[in-house]
Amino acid sequence: MKNGILVSILCIALYPLANIPAFSAEEPPAWAYPVNPPDFKLPADDGTLRRVPNSSAGYTLSQTRDRFAATDWHPEDHPTMPEVVARGRKPDVFACAWCHRADGPGAPENSSLAGLPSAYIIQQMADFKSGARKSSVPKRAPMTLLMTLAKAVSDEEVVAAANYFAALPPRWTVKVVEVDRVPKTAVRNWFLADLKSGEQEPIGQRIIEVPEDLEHFESRDARARFIAYVPKGSVRKGEELATTGADGRTLPCATCHGPNFGGIDLTPPIAGRSPSYIVRQLYDIQSGARAGSAAAQMKPVVEKMTVDDMAALAAYLATRNPAAK
């Protein structure tokens, strides 16, 4: 199975994000907004059951791709899921846990929901529904699916999902590694994957965030972990931005997000989150694609930041323990 996955990855070329309009001074960074190439196809389901470590469950590929049935490898990790989280409601309300996983850690192509304030989740869903919150690269499927869901989901379903995810403890799923060179990667279903070819390339000013084990991640294992390769010096630069504002480039994050970046009241936690996701949010707020009340408060924070600043800040925040308050 692993060989089949590797062959399918090797057939995928990195798809450049060219000619994308931006309201920011810089184009959306392609590494933060991976877009499937036009000829991308998922591997065919051969009918065999997939397995992941420390789970007695088994799912076929088709079952893991069912948007109306959460792939729950580790039911002992979470309480009983509400119906909207576990199964959703056809035709347009997809199971929340299908994308964000049963205990809410999310993935690089979407958001971790575990431990976010319930009222914050509810407000973000309202912003998606009204169109106030969008993406600077709107053709990415994770965002288009969410916006479709937001228009169809009921208020009661939103509250049930928000209360469920808010009560879950956040988990640290990403390891940050500072490097000069990175493994060659390709876009695979809206995220970056290590080609495992042995080839490397300069990292430049990118963050390259990949699953540690591609097969387990593609099986939607909530315990999947990720490696975020970042340029050398990023963490220190990000720490300066986060703690001092770097001479007016931004504002210290602790002012709103707390001394350990674990959130205060309705302000969300930002420690230990996917750096790819953090960069997308900072860029979307700066570009104007993400609006709404929370984004309005962040607008002065991001208006002077470059994409390199965003990447450094995201790299630093990803090194912080999300369980620390």
What are the angstrom distances between the C-alpha of 211 and each of 188, 223, 279?
Answer: 11, 11, 18
pLDDT for the residue 293:
79
Give the mean pLDDT per block of 10 residues along the chain (325 residues).
41 36 72 96 95 98 97 98 98 98 97 97 96 95 96 98 98 97 97 97 98 97 98 98 96 95 94 98 97 90 97 98 87
pLDDT for the residue 11:
39
DSSP, collapsed to helix, strand or coil, labels residue 164 as helix
In DSSP terms, 185 is beta-bridged to 194
Nearest-CA neighbor of 59 among 77, 71, 68?
Answer: 71
Distance in angstroms (rounded) separating the CA atoms of residues 143 and 149: 10
Distance in angstroms (rounded) separating the CA atoms of residues 183 and 191: 15
Using DSSP bridges, classify how beta strands 185-188 and 226-231 pair: parallel, antiparallel or unpaired: unpaired
Q: What angle do CA 292, 293, 297 make, to 5 degrees?
A: 115
Distance in angstroms (rounded) separating the CA atoms of residues 21 and 229: 27
pLDDT for the residue 10:
37
